[in-house]
A and B are shown apart, each in its own frame.
Chain A
Amino acid sequence: MRDLLQHLWTHYHYVIYIALMLIGLYAVLAKGNLVKKVIGLNLLQTAVFLFYLSIGHKTGGTVPVLWEGKPDAIPYENPLPHVLMLTAIVVGVSITAVALALIVRIKAAYGTVEEGEILALDEADGQGGS
């Protein structure tokens, strides 16, 4: 038990990322409001960003720019996860943009952004059809 607690304490960044991820997943799955689902999705993605950044971190690490007197790679933070997350953030923004655009259109077409009400309206329209 002591070992486990110590392990969690020294690896607190994993605890944070998993907690954030679960909160995000919960929001996506349990919330009925379409906008809240998108917020949950953003939380989920942010958790992954933090996970990546934390695996590139070193205690006492510094900016990966060549400093005088520090010619080897040891004192620098790993820049690669940061670069990867730059791409992933752009992807996340695009997904959010598409999702919000769809929500605007859904609101115009159905008059609501609540999942339950949309499904009820579809039910009333009758299933099937093209």
Chain B
Amino acid sequence: MTQHLPVLVIVVPLLTALIVPLVERVRRGSAWYLVTGALLFSTYAAIQMLVQVSSGPIEGSIRYALGAWSAPMGIEYVVDRVNGIVLTMVAVVGLISAVWMRPSLKMEIREQARGSYYTVFLLCCVGFMGMTITGDIFNLYVFLEIASITSYVLIAMGKRRQALYAGYSYLIVGSIGATFILLGIGHLYMRTGVLSMADIVALFEANPELFEKSDVRVAFAFFTVGLAMKMALFPLHGWQPSAYTQAPSAASLFIAATSTKVSAYVFYRISFSVFGIQFLESALPVIRDGLLVMAAAAIVLGPLLAIRQNNLKRLLAYSSVGQIGYIMLGVVLLNMDGVTGGLIHFWNHAAAKGALFCVAGALVYRTGSARIADLAGMGRTAPWTATVLTISGCSMIGVPLTAGFLSKWYLGAGALAADRWMIVPVLLASSIFTAIYVWRLLSLVWFAPKEAVPAVTKEVPWAMRGPALVLAAGCLVFGLSSISVSIARDAARALGLGS
């Protein structure tokens, strides 16, 4: 069975998603066990494969030919050190949000709709895991659309009518982005005649003169713009704040912690494993400089826009705009420290943003809305949730001993090594703005006047508290131990960056 794990990690949740509505029809409430079981299996498989590639050679990977049709003819699934990190992130966040969402869905989704919610949620997990694991660029497009369509539906299932319009806007922007990616694939296929990522990069390495061809450059430009729309890179982030705000809390938790980052990972994969480092270094300085400016703008303006929000989910959405900037900064810097910083930020941001959306969901669970003013006095009535907010907020700022500090440290070091010292003040400014909005939340939570009656009357159930605490603990574990750094460092080495 172990050799089939790369396909089972996808197939088990995919098939479970199909039987979930039937099971829910037979017995109300039993579908949740199936969903959690399927994601538990995927998490096990993802961690198992990450351990397996981590103990092998640096460049090693697990390759799985679907239906035993090997690469040029068939589709290949590949797990290596880089996507092992992302696959584990998606599976673990999926499992945690599955555990977390049961009480929350009872408040936010009608009983008849819950069966379909579980199906769409599982398919969404399948889409994101598939985007991560596939080694074929057209298969990547198919999984991207699975993940996108299910995300539109999840967002539109929010309680208020604004959710419908938020889902629709995301559908329009997301489909334009996906069509651009499809065009990028087409231009690449036109020049190379193959769809397997490994074959394309081998072709480019053997014939560097292809980089001068305009269709190859056009392909990269289409990929860049399309993925920038999907990952909500500033200034293409317009769809994101209302999507995260209006989605049901359970959906915003999963989508905020994974979706834009999986698109960012796809950009890493396309840049390093399809076009290759040579292309990035030599061919298009304009795109690299442009992306650097966009990433820097995102890093500063995301937190700055977050400061003036009154809705906790909207605030977190704007802060996500900034965090995607960090991940993109890693790929633009194109050196060991920068890429390491970008890669550890996948885990660090998933833990911190996941924990913060757990808090937002808890607020919605208790008060019915995510107004920041309702956080007042929560430290007395709901100390566990308030602690989660404190730890993950510190990680967002980048306080030493938390995970966020390591991301910023490595990105700063990478910026200096790449002679882009202007990035360091940008990172500092971003930390200051983040500190301002986190402090605004924390002062409400812990230092509200004694006589005010807190809107959050009591703690949320353990089913919601537990997952939030696990994510918050993740912020501390990744900050204190060097495990994530060493995994990310090896992954950066596997991408071909010298130490």
| Interface, chain A (partner B; CB < 8 A) | 25, 28, 34, 37, 41, 44-45, 48, 51-52, 55, 80-81, 84, 87-88, 91, 94-95, 98-99, 102-103, 105-106, 109-110, 118, 122, 125, 128-130
Chain B residues, Cβ within 8 Å of A109: 161, 164
Q: How far is the CB of A1 from chain B (nearest CB, A)?
A: 20
Q: What are 13 inter-chain pairs, A to B, with CB distance below 8 A?
A: A25-B176, A28-B176, A41-B176, A45-B179, A51-B186, A55-B190, A88-B141, A103-B168, A110-B165, A122-B165, A128-B245, A128-B310, A129-B371
Q: Are B142 and A129 in contact (CB under 8 A)?
A: no
- Contacts beyond the supplied A41-B172, A41-B175, A129-B160: 17 A-B pairs with Cβ under 8 Å: A37-B172, A44-B175, A45-B175, A48-B179, A51-B186, A55-B189, A88-B182, A91-B145, A95-B145, A102-B168, A110-B161, A118-B165, A128-B311, A128-B314, A129-B162, A129-B370, A130-B369
Nearest B residue to A106 via CB reads B164
Assembly CA distance A86 to B165 (angstroms)? 30
State which of A28, A94, A102 has its C-beta within 8 Å of the C-beta of B167.
Answer: A102
Nearest B residue to A83 via CB reads B138
State which of A44, A52, A122 has its C-beta within 8 Å of the C-beta of B186.
Answer: A52
Nearest A residue to B139 via CB reads A87
State which of A34, A84, A98, A118 has its C-beta within 8 Å of the C-beta of B138.
Answer: A84
State which of B142, B159, B164 has its C-beta within 8 Å of the C-beta of A102.
Answer: B164
Chain A residues, Cβ within 8 Å of B371: 128-130
Q: How many A-B pairs with Cβ below 8 Å?
A: 91
Task: State whether the Cβ of B313 lies closer than 8 Å to any Cβ in chain A.
Answer: yes
Chain B, interface residues (CB within 8 Å), range: 35 or more
Assembly CA distance A87 to B75 (angstroms)? 14
Q: Are A94 and B164 in contact (CB under 8 A)?
A: no
- Which 5 pairs across A and B sit closest by C-beta, in order of nearness? A109-B161, A130-B370, A128-B311, A130-B369, A91-B145
Task: State whether the Cβ of B368 lies closer than 8 Å to any Cβ in chain A.
Answer: yes
Nearest A residue to B249 via CB reads A130
Q: Are B182 and A130 in contact (CB under 8 A)?
A: no
Assembly CA distance A118 to B369 (angstroms)? 22
Given A106-B165, A109-B161, A51:B183 Cβ within 8 A: yes
Given A99-B168, A130-B369, A125:B138 Cβ within 8 A: no
Task: State whether the Cβ of B153 lies closer than 8 Å to any Cβ in chain A.
Answer: yes
Assembly CA distance A110 to B160 (angstroms)? 11
Chain B residues, Cβ within 8 Å of A52: 186
Q: How far is the CB of A77 from chain B (nearest CB, A)?
A: 14
Chain A residues, Cβ within 8 Å of B171: 95, 98-99, 102
Q: Are B156 and A48 in contact (CB under 8 A)?
A: no
State which of A28, A55, A130 has its C-beta within 8 Å of the C-beta of B368.
Answer: A130
Given A25-B176, A91-B145, A130:B313 Cβ within 8 A: yes
Assembly CA distance A87 to B186 (angstroms)? 14
Chain A residues, Cβ within 8 Å of B246: 130
Tell which of B145, B179, B246, B364 has the most Cβ of chain A within 10 Å: B179
Chain B residues, Cβ within 8 Å of A110: 161, 165
Assembly CA distance A28 to B174 (angstroms)? 12
State which of A80, A98, A105, A125 has its C-beta within 8 Å of the C-beta of B152.
Answer: A98
Task: State whether the Cβ of B149 lies closer than 8 Å to any Cβ in chain A.
Answer: yes
Assembly CA distance A43 to B310 (angstroms)? 39
